[in-house]
Amino acid sequence: MENPSEQNRHELRRIYLDNANIIGITCSQSAKGDFSQEFKSFDVVIIDEVSKCTPPELLIPALKAKN
């Protein structure tokens, strides 16, 4: 698809993410409104390099885990 419209891009992104087995994102990006609204929870949340994160940075992605 060459030069897709904004609506088509959003729809393709949604389809891709709905079918993804793994989604990678930084702790700070997980706090952004559009991500928080699209993804309410995950089966598992894995935080890489947790020692470099502050407790507030860990809170938002940790709250997205079902367990």
pLDDT tens-digit readout, 13-60: 889 988 989 988 888 888 888 887 888 888 899 988 888 889 988 998
DSSP per-residue codes, 12-64:
HHHHHHHT-S-----TTGGGSHHHHHH---BS----TTGGGS-HHHHHHHHHT
Query: Is 32 within 8 Å of 47 (Cβ atoms)?
Result: no
Q: Indicate the SS3 state at residue 7.
A: helix
Residue 7 has pLDDT above 70, yes or no: yes
- Total count of domains within the chain: 1
Is 65 among the domain residues?
Answer: yes
Q: What is the pTM of this model?
A: 0.65
Is 10 among the domain residues?
Answer: no
Is 11 among the domain residues?
Answer: no
Is 4 among the domain residues?
Answer: no
Token pair recorded at residue 45: 């949340």
Find the domain containing 65 and state its range. 25-67
Is 61 among the domain residues?
Answer: yes
Is 19 among the domain residues?
Answer: no
